[in-house]
Chains A and B, each alone.
Chain A
Amino acid sequence: EPIAETQWSTVGPNDKLTPFEDVTSYNNFYELGTGKGDPKANAEQLVTEPWTITVDGACGKPGKLSYDDFVKPHALEERIYRLRCVEAWSMVIPWVGIPLGEALKRFEPTAQAKYVRFETIHDPKMLPAQRSGVLDWPYVEGLRMDEAMHPLALLAVGLYGEVLPNQNGAPLRLVVPWKYGFKSIKSIVRISFVEDMPQTTWAAYGGGSEYGFYANVNPTVDHPRWSQASERRLDGGSIFSMFERRDTLMFNGYDDVAPLYAGMDLKKWF
C-alpha cells in the first residue's frame, strides 16, 4: 500500500534530492538543541504519542483532536519541495503530508479569521533547550489566511515515504516552500484562527533583528548576517560539488504565490 496517494514534484532536473541521511541529521529545531546535529542526537527525548492538536479561535468547529483524528480524513500526498533556510543553504525534500488549506477548512474558519497562528509543543521536561532561554517558548509561527489556503502549503507527517523523524518536527509540521525554513513550524500542538497578525518567535526576537512576519524567500532583501542572493545546495555531494553556489530565486522559485503579494512592497514587508 503506497503511503502517498498522489505524488507531485515541483523541482527540476537541476534539483537533486537531498539524501534522507542529510535531511535528518542537519536540522534547526532549537527545542532539541541549537547545534545542527543536536536535534537528531536528542530526538528520542521528544515523545509524540499520544499527540493532541488544539484548534481554537475564530472558527465554527474548534476542538482538541488526536493526531489520528486530525490526519485520517485526508489523503496523503507526496510533494517534492525545495527548502530554503535563512542561513543561505537549501535542500530538496520529498515530504508526505496533507494540504494545509483542506485541513483548516474542516474547522470552518469565520470571517474574523484573518491569520492562522501555529504553536510548537512546550514541555521543558521533555525538550532540553526549553529549560534555557535561547528563545521565547513556545515557538510560534503564523500565516495570513490566504497564504495558509494556498495549495502549496502543506502539513507534513512524513518524508521519503516514512513517518516524520522527530528531529524534522514529528508528528505534524508545516511546510511553506516559498518562505524561509523557520516559518515551517515543527511539532505543532495548537492551531488558532486569529484576527490580528500573530507575534511570531523570530519576528519578535532581538527587537526585530531577524526577519519579519512574511519572510518570503527574496534574493534582494538581505538578512543582517547573510546575503540572500545565492545559496548552497546541500545534496549529499562532495565538498567540491558544493563549491558552486546557485542564485536564489524569488519565492524560492514558487512564482505561483506572487499574486498573494500583489501591491505589497516586499522590501518593507520582508
Chain B
Amino acid sequence: MVLTQRAFWEARGRSPALKPVVFALALVPLAELALRLFGLGLWGALGVNPIESIVRFSGDWALRMLLVALAVTPLRLLTGLAWPMKLRRMLGLFAFFYAALHLAAYVGLDQGLDWARIWADVVKRLYITVGMAAFAILLALALTSPKAAVRRLGGRRWQALHRLVYPAAVLAVVHYGLMVKADLTQPVIHGVVLALLLAARPALKSWRGRRRSGAEGRVRTAGRGL
C-alpha cells in the first residue's frame, strides 16, 4: 500500500508535463508586462507613470515568486508529497529573474544608468540598501543553483548558503515596507504570509516527527532534505 502510493507520487514528480506547465505559468506576468508595454494588457496599459509601473510590477512578482518558492517545503511537509520539491529550484530562479528585472528597471529606466545617483541611493536610502542586500543574496543563490555547484560546494555548505533565502525574503518584505509612504497594508500581508511559511517549517516537522514515532513504519515520507 505504502509502496504503491509512493510510486504513484514519484511518478507524478517525474511527470513530463509538470515542469513545463509551471514554467509557462511563471512566465505569465512577463507576458502581461510585455502586452501592457504596447497598451494591450488585460489590465490596461502601463498608465500615467509607465516607468514606475514596470518597477512596481516586477518587484511585486519577485516577492510573490519568492513566497511561492518558500511554500514548497511546507507543502511537502503538510502533504508528504515529493513532487513539489522538483519545482523548488525553478521557482527560486523565477524569483531571481523577476528581482533582476526589477533591479534592471530601477537602474536602467528609473535612474537612466546614472551610477553616481544610484550609488548615492544605495548608501543613503535604507529601503534601497535593504533591497540591494536581498538581491545580492538571490544572485549568490542563483549562481550556485546548478547541480555542479552543489557538488563543488558539498551538500552541507551548499545547504548552509541556501538557507540565506530566509533572510533574503525578510529583507525583501522590509524593503517593500520601507518603500511605501503610509499605507502598509500590502507589505504587512506579504510579511504575514512569509511569517506563516517560515513558522510552518518547524511546526510541521515536529508534527511529522510525532506522527512518525507514533506510527513507526506505517507512514513514510518521501523527504530528501529540506
Contact = CB atoms under 8 A, between A and B. Distances in A.
Nearest to A87: B181
Given A239-B37, A243-B109, A243-B112, A225 B50 contact: no
A205 B182 contact: yes
A89 B46 CA distance: 16
Contacts of A22: 48
A227 B117 contact: yes
B49 A36 contact: yes
Q: Which of B46, B51, B121, B124 has the most CB of A within 10 A?
A: B51
B177 to A, nearest CB: 12
A26 interface: yes
Interface string B91-117: 000000000000000000100100001
A222 interface: yes
A25 interface: yes
A234 interface: yes
Nearest to B127: A225
Contacts of A205: 182
A220 B49 CA distance: 24
B49 A89 contact: yes
B112 A244 contact: yes
A154 to B, nearest CB: 23
A16 interface: no
A234 B49 contact: yes
Contacts of B183: 30, 34, 134
A179 B33 CA distance: 35
B148 interface: no
A26 B49 contact: yes
Contacts of B124: 222, 227
Q: Interface size bucket, B side?
A: 20 to 34
Contacts of B50: 238-239, 242
Interface in A1-43: 22, 25-26, 30, 34, 36-37
A210 B120 CA distance: 19
Nearest to A35: B183
Contact of A34 (B51, B127, B182): B182
Contacts of A73: none
Interface of A is mostly: loop
A245 B112 contact: yes
Q: Interface size bucket, A side?
A: 20 to 34
B41 interface: no
A30 B49 contact: no
A204 interface: no
Interface string B15-51: 0000000000000000000000100000000111111
Interface in A219-235: 222, 224-227, 229-230, 232, 234
A135 interface: yes
A144 to B, nearest CB: 25
Contact of A26 (B48, B117, B182): B48
B179 interface: yes
Interface in A73-119: 87, 89
B173 to A, nearest CB: 17
A45 B48 CA distance: 23
Interface string A201-229: 00001000010000000000010111101
Contact of A224 (B46, B47, B109, B125): B125
Nearest to B110: A232
A239 B182 contact: no
A37 B47 contact: yes
Q: Which of B46, B52, B54 has the most CB of A within 10 A?
A: B52
Nearest to A30: B182
Contacts of B127: 225
A89 B112 CA distance: 15
20 contacts: A22-B48, A25-B47, A26-B47, A26-B48, A34-B181, A36-B47, A37-B47, A87-B181, A224-B125, A225-B179, A226-B125, A227-B117, A227-B124, A232-B49, A232-B51, A234-B49, A239-B50, A242-B49, A243-B51, A244-B112
Interface of B: 37, 46-52, 54, 109, 112, 117, 120-121, 124-127, 178-179, 181-183, 185
